[in-house]
Amino acid sequence: MLKTILAISGKPGLYRLVSRGNKSLIVETVDAAKKRMPAFGADKVVSLADISIYTNDDSEVSLTSVFESIKKNYDGKAVDLSPKKAEQDDIIAFFTKVLPNYDTDRVRVSDMRKVLAWYNLLVEYGITEFEDKAPEAAAE
């Protein structure tokens, strides 16, 4: 599911891939406005499925797994912690609860805030299935 959800550098919020245009991607916002726009090659566009968080054991945990952990810890509901207004210690405590072995040297608080904001946005607009279940069906 997260393969079609995109983050575009320099633009707030998340976007859903709608179509591919000539030398661009057609995206729409993941919010009530559903505003469509092109994302060109000069824009840094990354799928949420391709993002990982560094851990202490020299490996990485996919953002999908982090979202699933948040979903499990908060019963699939939005986290009642504001990513913009929360204190730094509260954000760190939240992230430690969700991913206890994250690399404290390489994962910044701003990254933690972004993960929290993305999770709340996705849950608010009904996107709660983070892991793809299609590969199992395709294998059969």
27-67 pLDDT per residue, tens: 999 888 889 999 988 889 999 989 999 999 888 999 989 99
pLDDT at 133: 63
pLDDT at 127: 80
Q: Would you state the pLDDT for residue 115?
A: 92
pLDDT the model gives residue 131: 73
| CATH no., domain 2-48 | 2.30.30.730
CATH-assigned architecture of domain 51-124: Orthogonal Bundle (1.10)
- Give the pLDDT of residue 76: 82
Alpha helices for the chain (secondary structure H): 63-73, 88-98, 109-124, 134-139
Q: Report the distance separating Cα 55 and Cα 126, nearest Å.
A: 29
Q: What is the pLDDT of residue 1?
A: 67
Which residues does the chain have with pLDDT short of 50? 137-140
Of 26, 19, 30, the C-alpha closest to 122 is 30
- Residue 102 neighbours by CB distance under 10 Å: 20
Task: Pinpoint the residues of the chain covered by CATH 1.10.10.1650.
Answer: 51-124
